[in-house]
Structure 1
């Protein structure tokens, strides 16, 4: 799918509660496929989401890491330690880790981005 077509469909579908007849339409299926299978479309959508939330994603090695770090934060920008949906955290000290959901703030420190392989620096 061309990125411009994806942007148009994104405007129609993203962030809205859609009736079943819409989610079963060819346009929606093409949009969802592009979001999951086309890197340019995915990156554009993630960048737009992070920009709209005021999240500085430019300092991350890739948009996937930036998005997962953003998703690990609560409404006040604090790390959520007890949420099993969180798959990666970034601590103030610059460390990245995969949380161990055992009821505490335990994490497995990682040195490389799980998505792009870039060495993570402090």
Structure 2
């Protein structure tokens, strides 16, 4: 999971601009999310790893 979250692109300025980056992590909310590539910085929070199916750490907001 960390390899997908820490992926960096040398062609785009940010994670939300690169179509190859699918997962984001917010240190502030301690949540993982699927990036919505619509020109903004939105993502959908996820509870399970999309590759292995393991449960991700719970958000402290819950």
Higher normalized helix content (fraction of residues):
1
Which ranges of structure 1 fall in alignment gaps of 5 or more residues?
1-64
Q: Give the length in aligned residue pairs.
A: 54
Select the structure of larger CA radius of gyration: 1
Runs (5+) with no aligned partner, structure 2: none
TM-score by length of 1: 0.40
After TM superposition, which residue ranges in structure 1, 4 or more long, deviate above 6 angstroms? none
More strand by share: 2
If asked which structure has higher relative contact order (CA below 8 Å, sep 6+), I would say: 2
Tell me the SS of whatever aligns to 1:68.
Answer: helix
Q: TM-score, normalised by structure 2?
A: 0.72
CA RMSD of aligned residues (A): 1.9
